[in-house]
Amino acid sequence: MEEYRKKTLRDYLTVIFRHKIILITTMVTVITTVFWGLIFKTPVYEAHVKMLISGQKQLESSYYRDLTGYGETKIILTQSEIVKSSAVIGLAVRALGLYQRPLDYEKNYASIFKKPFIVLNAAIINHKLNKLKDLEKKELLYRAALKSLKQSIGVESVRDTNIFVVSVKDYSPLGAVIMANTISRAYIIFDLQQQLAELQLKYGEKHPTTIQLKDNIEKISKNLNGQPLSDEEAIGPASVKIIEQADIPTKPIGPAKTITFLLACVMSVFLGVALIFIYDYLDQSFRSLEDITDVLNIPYLGSIPVKAELKNYHLLAEQLLLLLKDKNINTVMFSSTLSKEGVTKTILSLGTYLSKVVGYKVLIIDANFKNSALGETLKISDNQGLTEISEGKITFEKAVKDLSNNLFVLSSGKEKLNPAIIFNSHIINDLLKYVKTKFDIILIDSAPLNETKDSVILAANCDGVVLVINEGGTRKQIVKVALAALLKNKVNVLGAILNNRTYPIPLNIYKRV
């Protein structure tokens, strides 16, 4: 096993460019989704009212004494829940007539793309409502308005004070102000009603304090329209006081659409890159020379690009020739783990170079009986070959085909014969011994290792074996199983060739990293 090689910028860029379709798809999906999400998002405004809890009560009843025993936080939380109660919200809904608001109210503030959907949804709801009786329809609309207003309200305490802030959201800035002011006053009315109930129980309805409190409630009820009041009127006589009325908000809540869109663009890149590296980590196919040397622990002999040129095969042939000379080898079997991994094309290209350029006398043997492609590729009409030789029907000299000077081919034969008969007998061994005396180099095209055990037997009769691995197509585990079978039979594995290799980084970038 080779030592761990530190990753470089080029390695990371290779992964990104190799799976750039994932990056592009992720970016397009995220950006498009966010873009249309922003288009369909109706701006929402939020108005705020500040309220104080520690006001003077008309009567120190047990109800208020209980509250004063609480901690400030508990008082705030209690009052917050009261603000959002149906008793308080209901007053605001009825006072503002929110249950009469059109169901397509949002269309007045929505984008042109969203308006048709709002109108359609409102029409569907109206169609269902028109089937109800007037009383049922009114009650249903009231409950819907009550629920909608509750969902748009927020209550938040101001730290280390008895102050809390009531916030209300609406599509209209003025509408948010009106509802915020109305809810705060409805809350004061609710508080005064609690005191009135206590006073009536203690003093009766004719007591001056009781009458005064009723007048105060009636006066505040007339102002449940959300319009601004003077500071004195806004404060009021209740134990809970308004210390700051709502102002008209100048901009919608949330980040600006431009910022959101730009952030989505940036995040889509990060998400796409993250998905690329996750996918690459989960990918169990061979992608680089490191995959071959680290996973298989065998030498890397070279690669053949997807759009291979003659010079690519020439370079590979020269590297292979140096190896064969160094180890005094002349019979090499080429095989893969799966079919259609380019073994036949590789052998023909290497044989052509070694015979024509180097001047070696080269023999190519087609030993792929199951799915022979050599004869079809070379368009050999008389397909008598290895099968016929093993049956004694023809001699080697008559079966071998002279393609050109120094390059000869022996096909698998036209008759169907169980390869085990040839490989398990002395036939193939005797034939290889014979051709070694006639040729400088013998290249054997065998069936895929995972499709037949006969290729392993054939490999044992050769000087060495070269594995052809398809980049991105062959799983590592499959090759490891096939390699284990070869090593178990003490086959001399010379190394592996990475076929259909891609170079995803553009050349102008590749030179600079």
Q: What is the pLDDT of residues 355-382, one digit of tens each?
A: 998 899 999 999 888 777 787 777 776 6
Q: Which residue has the tokens 């600079």?
A: 512
State how far the Cα of 223 lies from the Cα of 181, in Å rounded to an integer.
9
Number of H helices, E strands in the chain: 22, 12
Dump the DSSP string for 64-114: HHHHHTS-HHHHHHHHHHHHTSHHHHHHHHHHHTGGGS-TTGGGGTS-TTT
Sign, CA dihedral 208-211-212-213, equals positive
**In this structure, are residues 80 and 157 in contact, taking their beta carbons and an 8 Å threshold?**
yes
Residue 467 near residue 495 (C-beta atoms within 8 A): yes
Within 10 angstroms of residue 278's Cβ, the number of other Cβ atoms is: 11
**In the chain, domain spans:** 9-29+256-281, 44-244, 286-510
414/141: higher pLDDT: 141
Residue tagged 């970038």 (tokens): 509
Whether 71 shows a pLDDT value over 60: the answer reads no
Q: Supply the pLDDT for residue 222.
A: 83
On the question of pLDDT at 288 being above 90, the answer is no
Question: Of 337, 312, 330, 317, which Cα lies nearest the Cα of 456?
Answer: 337
Is the per-residue pLDDT at 68 higher than 60? no
Check residue 50 and give left, alpha or beta (phi > 0: left; psi -120 to 50: alpha).
beta
Q: Which residues pair with 444 in a beta bridge?
A: 333, 365
Chain CA centroid to CA 461, Å: 50
β-bridge partners, 408? 363, 402
Sequence-distant (6+) residues with CB within 8 A of 266 are none
**Which has the minimum average pLDDT: 73-77, 172-176, 392-396?**
73-77
CA–CA separation, 513 and 504 (whole Å): 13
Q: Residue 353 has which token pair?
A: 């170079």
**Is the CA virtual torsion 401, 403, 408, 413 positive or negative?**
negative
H or E element, residue 282: helix 257-282
The amino acid sitting at 327 is K
Is the per-residue pLDDT at 67 higher than 80?
no
The per-residue pLDDT for range 479-489, each reduced to its tens digit, is 999 999 999 99
**Quick one: pLDDT band at residue 72, thresholds 50, 70, 90?**
low
CATH ID of 286-510, from 3.40.50.300, 3.30.230.10, 1.10.630.10, 3.10.580.10: 3.40.50.300
pTM, 2 dp: 0.75
**pLDDT tens digit sequence for 176-202:** 999 999 999 999 888 888 888 888 888
Please name the residues in contact with 506: beta carbons below 8 A apart, sequence gap of 6 or more.
Answer: 17
| pLDDT-derived band at 3, boundaries 50, 70, 90 | very low
Instruction: Give Cα 115 distance to the centre of its chain.
Output: 31
Q: Which residues contact 4 (CB under 8 A, 6 or more apart)?
A: none
> For tokens 């929402």, what's the residue?
44
> What would the two tokens of residue 11 be?
């390695």
Dump the DSSP string for 301-335.
EEEEETT--HHHHHHHHHHHHHHHHHTT--EEEEE
pLDDT at 377: 76
The 8-class DSSP code of residue 240 comes to: S
